[in-house]
């Protein structure tokens, strides 16, 4: 069996990720084997590495980390019909089959889509998780309509920059919070109202919003409830989790009760204000990535990339993100391929 380089979680915690030589993956009958050209870093990588979801996502250690990939198909399973060797693809593999911080990854065909033609492989690697999350929040969950008012926090971030663009494409009036250095960037992405959090308190200047997407949690989430109009919704991607999260990942009923207990305070405050709170955790979908790919190719969406690290420096790239050094958008790790 041939080995490949991967970055694996050996133990849960900040120092639990390391480089390792691991066997190349086997290819099931529904799998597409992808030689990675690039991957990208997401906050979810830190959470999974630290064991934040270990009661729900029971990965058998050591396991390869990484949730986004773009690359070239090198082998397909016997039941795969829509992909062939040589195709350029991108994907966010499903939760129990993550592992994009590796030279090769086998992905279920349902989670894979053709790479948007207008994007490089590096650009495409920055897209899947945040684009799927934006689509699932705005279209699936909130069913955003033209003319509605949407507030997304951290509009220069990987998720925020995507949500701003997609919400604008859907016809919403979009507000966002960001720092002074990225005010012009978020305006260029389509934000109608920009609150520089170093100068203003969003809770004092915004009101009457249909939807708030919060990626910060804590006090920021609590204050976000106050800018919603009656019947408005706050959707949190940083927590606290609720019973819907446990159900989505197939957890036992008792775990749902625990999750509800964790989020009781914020849900109670939301109810008192006549609004609602729910936790969001995205799911893999190749068909949605096809739809999103068309939006990237049409120019309705564009990736925002902060920096690119060599694949061998994945640990440094993780640290760069965790230290808050990202100015805007995503951090990508790239392999040594010609077309990346």
For the chain, the structural domain boundaries read 3-127+303-334, 129-279
Instruction: Name the average pLDDT for the chain.
Output: 95
Q: What pLDDT does residue 239 have?
A: 86
Does the global pTM surpass 0.75?
yes
Residue 337 has pLDDT above 50, yes or no: no
Looking at residues 13-32, what average pLDDT do you find?
Answer: 97
Q: Which of 63-72, 104-113, 244-253, 255-264 bottoms out in mean pLDDT, i.e. has the lowest?
A: 244-253
Res. 55 pLDDT band, cuts 50 70 90 = confident
Per-residue confidence (pLDDT) for residue 340, from 0 to 100: 40
Model pLDDT for residues 294-305, shown as the tens digit of each residue:
999 999 999 999
Checking if the pLDDT of 125 tops 80, the result is yes
pLDDT recorded at residue 1: 66
**What was the pLDDT predicted at 101?**
98
**Fold match between 3-127+303-334 and 129-279?**
no
Cα 240–chain centre separation = 17
Q: Is the Cβ–Cβ distance between 209 and 175 less than 8 Å?
A: yes
pLDDT in tens, 266-278: 999 999 999 999 9
Over the stretch 73-89, which tens digit does the pLDDT of each residue have? 999 999 999 999 999 99
> Does 202 score more than 60 pLDDT?
yes
For residues 208-217, give the mean pLDDT. 96
**pLDDT value at residue 339:** 42
Beta-bridged to residue 334, according to DSSP, are 38, 310
Q: Which residues contact 74 (CB under 8 A, 6 or more apart)?
A: 33, 34, 35, 85, 104
CATH fold of 3-127+303-334: Quinone Oxidoreductase; Chain A, domain 1 (3.90.180)
pLDDT at 26: 96
Query: Which neighbouring-strand residues pair with 329?
Result: 157
Mean pLDDT of 153-162: 97
CB 233, CB 142: distance < 8 Å = yes
Per-residue pLDDT, averaged over 287-315, amounts to 98
Residue 229's pLDDT band, with cuts at 50, 70 and 90, is: very high
Q: Who's near 116: CB < 8 A, 6+ residues apart?
A: 90, 124, 127, 293, 294, 296, 297
Domain 129-279 has CATH 3.30.450.40: no
């Amino acid at each position: 069996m041939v080995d490949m380089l991967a970055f694996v979680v050996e133990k849960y915690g900040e120092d639990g990720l390391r480089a390792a030589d691991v066997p190349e993956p086997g290819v099931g009958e529904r799998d597409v084997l992808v030689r990675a050209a690039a991957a990208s870093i997401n906050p979810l990588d830190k959470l999974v590495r630290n064991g934040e979801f270990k009661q729900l996502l029971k990965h058998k250690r050591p396991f390869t980390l990484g949730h986004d990939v773009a690359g070239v198909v090198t082998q397909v399973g016997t039941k795969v019909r829509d992909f062939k060797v040589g195709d350029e693809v991108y994907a966010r593999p499903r939760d129990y089959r993550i592992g994009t911080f590796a030279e090769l990854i086998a992905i279920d065909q349902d989670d894979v889509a053709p790479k948007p033609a207008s994007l490089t492989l590096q650009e495409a690697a920055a897209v899947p998780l945040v684009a799927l999350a934006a689509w699932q929040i705005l279209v699936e969950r909130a069913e955003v309509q033209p003319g509605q008012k949407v507030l997304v926090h951290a509009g220069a971030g990987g998720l925020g920059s995507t949500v701003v663009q997609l919400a604008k494409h859907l016809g919403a009036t979009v507000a966002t919070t960001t720092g002074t250095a990225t005010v012009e960037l978020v305006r260029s992405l389509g934000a109608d109202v920009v609150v520089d959090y170093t100068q203003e308190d969003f809770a004092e200047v915004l009101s009457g919003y249909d939807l708030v997407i919060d990626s910060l949690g804590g006090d920021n989430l609590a204050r976000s409830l106050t800018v919603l109009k009656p019947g408005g919704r706050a959707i949190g991607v940083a927590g606290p989790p609720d019973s819907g999260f446990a159900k989505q990942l197939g957890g036992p009923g008792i775990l749902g009760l625990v999750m509800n207990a964790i989020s009781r305070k914020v849900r109670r405050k939301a109810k008192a204000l006549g609004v609602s709170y729910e936790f969001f955790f995205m799911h893999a979908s190749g068909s949605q990535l096809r739809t999103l790919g068309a939006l990237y190719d049409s120019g309705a969406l564009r990736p925002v990339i902060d920096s690119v690290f060599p694949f061998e420096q994945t640990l440094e790239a993780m640290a760069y993100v965790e230290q808050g050094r990202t100015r805007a958008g995503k951090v990508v790790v790239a392999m040594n391929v010609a077309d990346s």
